[in-house]
Amino acid sequence: MPQKIIKGFKALVEEANAVVETLSVDEARALIGRDDTVLVDLRDPRELEREGKMPGAFHCPRGMLEFWIDPESPYHKPIFAEDKRFVFFCGGGWRSALAAKAAQEMGLQPVAHIEGGFTAWKKAGAPVEDR
C-alpha cells in the first residue's frame, strides 16, 4: 500500500513561520559581527563548498542541530549554551524555519531565521566568504 502523507512540507514550513521570528536579509545583515548573536548555517557542507558562506556564521548541519543543542547529548556544542540570539539560515528558508521551530520548542531562545536563506542573501549582494 502506498504511503499517504497527511501533512506536507509546505504546511510544516507555514506552521513554523507562524511561530518563529523571520528576519529579512537586511535585518540579518545588521547582525553580522554582533557579540550577542550567532548566525547558524544549516546547509550541507557541499553547499558551503559550492556557494561560500556568510561571514562569521557558525556551521551546524541540519541533521545534527537537536543533538548539538541538547546539553544531555554526547554531541552537544557549547555555543548553544551561550546567552545569545540564534539566527538560523539554510539555502532557501525552509530548513531554517523548521530548525528554528525545533530549537524554540527545545527551549533555545531567542531564535529567528532568515527569509529566503542564503540564496536571498547572495541575491541581495550581502557579503559572502569562500569556504
The pTM of this model reads 0.95
Q: Which of 22, 68, 18, 63 has its CA nearest to residue 44?
A: 63
**In which band, very low, low, confident or very high, does the pLDDT at 130 lie, cut at 50, 70 and 90?**
confident
Tell me the pLDDT tens digit for each residue of 67-119.
999 999 999 999 999 999 999 999 999 999 999 999 999 999 999 999 999 99
Angle (deg, nearest 10), helices 9-19 and 94-106: 50
Q: Which of 87, 102, 83, 110 has its CA nearest to residue 39?
A: 87
Q: Judge: domain 20-123, CATH 3.40.250.10.
A: yes
**In which band, very low, low, confident or very high, does the pLDDT at 42 lie, cut at 50, 70 and 90?**
very high
pLDDT value of residue 70: 98
Q: Which of 36, 15, 20 has its CA nearest to residue 89?
A: 20
